[in-house]
Amino acid sequence: MATPAAAPAALDPTEEIMEIQMGPSHPASHGTIKFNLKLDGEVVVDCDVEVGYLHRAFEKMTEQGTWTQAIPYTDRLNYASPFINNVAFVLAVEKLLGIEVPPRCQYLRVIVSELSRLTDHETCLGMAATELGAMTVGFLLNEARELIYDLAEAISGARLTVTYCRIGGLSRDFPPDISERVTAAFKHTRALISDCDKLLTRNRIFVDRMRGIGVISQAEAISYGLTGPMLRSTGTNYDVRKAQPYSSYDHFDFEVPLGSTGDNYDRFLCRFAEMEQSMRIVEQALKNLPAGPVRVEDPRIVLPEKSKVYGSIEGLMNHFKLIMEGIKVPPGEVYHAVEGANGELGFYVISDGSGRPYRVRVRPPCFLAMGALGAMVKGGMLADIIPTFGMVNMIGGECDR
Amino acid sequence: MSRASLLPRLQELFGDKLLSAHDQCGDDTIVVGRDHMIEVLRQLRERPEFAFDLLADETAADYLGVSPRFELVCHLYSLSHNRRLRVKVPVPEDDPVVPSLVPLWKSANWLEREVWDMFGIRFSGHPDLRRILLYEQFVGHPLRKDYPVNQRQPLVPERDPVNQDWKV
């Protein structure tokens, strides 16, 4: 800012570099985030992105309870795709335990992960379109999201805070009528998504706001550690589901949509195409769903049946030890990554052999994407921050933890 | 990821610059001294046989009571070879400074700000080492094991709603 002693010419609003603060509570940005902007007219000269408004000490809190008690916290990291966070955390712990869950459990984990990817992309695209004035799309995609939330409710009992996975399995099997419910929900979802496609993909206003905006080159994107749709929009084919398949992702036939220019429009198209691929995976998994248990049979890891807990002293002791002391994870450290809706979601866990985590580190995909946002909006117009920020799809809980 | 481990090649190349190496649970891990870390990481990024072009994560761990107390942990990923590698750097408690990785990977910028914020490890040569998730007035580094979990640091004094009159 100009000092008071400066010449009057420096106070001319057309000459002066203006500093404004956008956020942390701004009607056109979903999520609490602050942009400290330097503007020359409407052109962004510099943008300092400030995060941390939703910091809830996830990593510190996980060190206070048992391994199982950390699972509910993971739901609340990315509340647009809670299942994926559940799956990622338990897979990391299972890798350290050296166990593999039964095939049915692996398939069910794939199904819930892909349902979460759908809700995440629907949230992202619906909100981004609403912020650009296409409110109808926001409503349509919210309706589509509700259909998936209903499925999540039928599966886990909760719509957002699902806490569905357990170390060594799942909290429960799917309800028997899930196949019909998914078929009905997907039929409706496909109709809604097709409507959104007609409303947005070739809409002149929308395309003009998205194409060529927020461009990031492939080399820059890799250097900034971007993953997921952000990286794939630059034409880099990296999807953890294909590169390092986990939880039987290699059993399914699906495509990874790629962009070419690395702008907002490509990110939009990548996410849009991924929704259809997610539905394909869910349909294949439901069609070929293996029978069998959904938990490993190991009393050191999985809670005993309720009949054993109430009917035998061994069962009661087993239950008590697991609840009070936690699962004894062997000492060591692992990093396990899954493909979150926003990119590579990794958990780095350290165990000291007691029943509590020594350290749980989550590698949040959108934290790194937010690190690149400042460079992506620099040189653009003030109003273009909104679509670029929308396509980064920051989820406050995951970014700030 | 079922290919042969990278570790023999790394040991051959870097020799006694590696303090130790292991592949627990299939995760290749090397431990590098602070003085050699930039050189080793630069080679890991630039040599085509490794090509670790993505710094997936950079974080730390606090082993209170052990010397050296901290460990800086980097997770590298190579897009072309589809490989992961963990590089750990011991950091002593009395001099918690390590060279910054920002010249090698831009993602290190925010990740190192977070490590500084949470663990109090400083990065020499970092362009903009401010707190990131917490506010500048915050005292201490909360992910250190000796930071009490229920400590509160309100910016505005807290009011006790039971024992204090609301009308004050």
How does residue A9 score in pLDDT terms, banded at 50, 70 and 90?
A: low
How does residue A13 score in pLDDT terms, banded at 50, 70 and 90?
A: low
Contacts of A55 in chain B (CB under 8 A): 133-134
Of residues B4 and A162, the one with the higher pLDDT is A162
Question: CB distance A371–B106 less than 8 Å?
Answer: yes
Average pLDDT over residues B120-149: 88
Across chain A, what does the average pLDDT equal?
Answer: 88
Question: CB distance B142–A60 less than 8 Å?
Answer: yes
Looking at residue B12, its pLDDT comes to 79
Q: Which of B1, B20, B23, B25 to mutate against chain A (most A CBs within 10 Å)?
A: B25
Question: CB distance B61–A350 less than 8 Å?
Answer: yes
Looking at residue A1, its pLDDT comes to 46
Phi-psi region of A295 (alpha: psi -120 to 50; beta: other; left: phi over 0): beta
The predicted-structure confidence for B46-91, as pLDDT tens digits, reads as follows 888 888 988 989 999 999 888 888 999 999 999 888 888 999 999 9
- Asked if residue B3 has pLDDT above 80, the reply is no
Looking at residue A8, its pLDDT comes to 52
Question: CB distance A348–B59 less than 8 Å?
Answer: yes
**Using CB atoms, which residue from B75, B105, B134 is nearest to A335?**
B75
Question: CB distance B133–A236 less than 8 Å?
Answer: no
- Asked if residue B168 has pLDDT above 60, the reply is no
What does the alpha-carbon distance between residue B168 and residue B162 come to, in Å, rounded to a whole number?
Answer: 13
Looking at residue A2, its pLDDT comes to 46
Average pLDDT over residues A39-49: 87
- Asked if residue B155 has pLDDT above 50, the reply is yes
DSSP type of residue B67: S
Of residues A41 and A126, the one with the higher pLDDT is A126
B51 touches chain A (CB under 8 A): no
Strands B97-99 and B122-124: parallel
Average pLDDT over residues A273-295: 90
How does residue B137 score in pLDDT terms, banded at 50, 70 and 90?
A: confident
In chain A, which residues touch B (CB < 8 A)?
51-52, 55, 57, 59-61, 63-64, 95-96, 98, 220, 222-225, 227, 236, 238, 243-244, 332-335, 337, 344, 346, 348, 350, 358-359, 361, 363, 367-368, 370-372, 400-401
Query: Which of A123, A113, A68, A114 minimizes the C-alpha distance to A90?
Result: A68
Answer whether B60's CB lies under 8 Å from B86's CB: no
Looking at residue A394, its pLDDT comes to 84
- Asked if residue A7 has pLDDT above 60, the reply is no
Average pLDDT over residues A168-174: 88
SS (H, E, C) chain A: CCCCCCCHHHHCCCCCEEEEEECCCCCCCCCCCEEEEEEECCEEEEEEEECCCCCCCHHHHHCCCCCHHHHHHHHCCCCCCHHHHHHHHHHHHHHHHCCCCCHHHHHHHHHHHHHHHHHHHHHHHHHHHHHCCCHHHHHHHHHHHHHHHHHHHHHHCCCCCCCCEECCEECCCCCCCHHHHHHHHHHHHHHHHHHHHHHHCCCHHHHHHHCCCCCCCHHHHHHCCCCCHHHHCCCCCCCHHHHCCCCCHHHCCCCCCCCCCCCHHHHHHHHHHHHHHHHHHHHHHHHCCCCCCCECCCCCCCCCCHHHHHHCHHHHHHHHHHHHHCCCCCCEEEEEEEECCCCEEEEEEEECCCCCEEEEEEECHHHHHHHHHHHHHCCCEHHHHHHHHHHHCCCHHHHHC
Of residues A218 and B7, the one with the higher pLDDT is A218
Looking at residue B51, its pLDDT comes to 87
Contacts of B24 in chain A (CB under 8 A): 332-334
What does the alpha-carbon distance between residue A323 and residue A94 come to, in Å, rounded to a whole number?
Answer: 18
Looking at residue A200, its pLDDT comes to 86
Looking at residue A186, its pLDDT comes to 92
B168 touches chain A (CB under 8 A): no
Contacts of B133 in chain A (CB under 8 A): 51-52, 55, 400-401
B27 touches chain A (CB under 8 A): yes
How does residue A382 score in pLDDT terms, banded at 50, 70 and 90?
A: confident
Quote the minimal CA–CA distance from B106 to chain A in Å: 5
B13 touches chain A (CB under 8 A): no
The predicted-structure confidence for A318-362, as pLDDT tens digits, reads as follows 999 888 888 888 999 999 999 988 889 999 999 988 888 999 999
What does the alpha-carbon distance between residue A212 and residue A298 come to, in Å, rounded to a whole number?
Answer: 54
**Using CB atoms, which residue from A57, A60, A359 is nearest to B61?**
A359
Looking at residue A21, its pLDDT comes to 86
Looking at residue A338, its pLDDT comes to 92
Taking the mean position of all CA atoms in its chain, how far away is CA A32?
17
Looking at residue A110, its pLDDT comes to 93
* Token digits of residue A103: 């095939």
Question: CB distance A346–B75 less than 8 Å?
Answer: yes
Looking up tokens 């390092």 gives A244
DSSP type of residue B97: E
pTM for this one?
0.87
Average pLDDT over residues A283-289: 90
How does residue A5 score in pLDDT terms, banded at 50, 70 and 90?
A: low
How does residue B4 score in pLDDT terms, banded at 50, 70 and 90?
A: low
* Token digits of residue B149: 């979990």
